[in-house]
Amino acid sequence: MATILVVDDSGYARRVHRRILESGDHTVHEASTGLEALERYFLLKPDVVLLDLSMEDMSGLEVLRKLREMDAAVRVIVVSADIQRTTERMVSEGGASRFLGKPVATEDLLTTISVLLQEAPR
């Protein structure tokens, strides 16, 4: 199906997302920091990036901005426990393709990815 880069500083969250994504026959790569995410995106060119907002080295919004600078067509799904409308609006304005609240339901994540992959890149 798709190659997906999961970016989250929580090993637990990465494992949960990996399990969900692999159940949908996706190939999964992981990054635990913003810098690692940027390096892996450059090397792997994944179809989708699943991005947490809170990381130690740089914010998810900063990673999103840098990814958009690297590739204007990048598909990013921001996944965050901060589900306030202002946060959702902020990530949308920052160029995220979608926003999902944590914890993510298996069907929601797989459906979101499926729909996103069918859309033309921005």
Query: Could you tell me the residue ranges of all domains in the chain?
Result: 3-118
pTM: 0.93
- Predicted confidence at residue 45, as pLDDT, reads 96
List the chain pLDDT tens, one digit each, 122 residues: 899 999 999 999 999 999 999 999 999 999 999 999 999 999 999 999 999 998 888 999 999 999 999 999 999 999 987 767 777 788 888 889 999 998 999 999 999 999 999 986 66
Say how far residue 49 (Cα) sits from the centre of its chain.
4
- Predicted confidence at residue 111, as pLDDT, reads 96
Domain at 3-118, CATH from 3.90.700.10, 1.10.510.10, 3.40.50.300, 3.40.50.2300: 3.40.50.2300
Record the tokens describing residue 49, joined without a space: 């990036």
> What is the distance between the alpha carbons of residues 5 and 28, in angstroms, rounded to a whole number?
6
Torsion over CA of 53, 59, 60 and 61, rounded to 10 degrees? 110
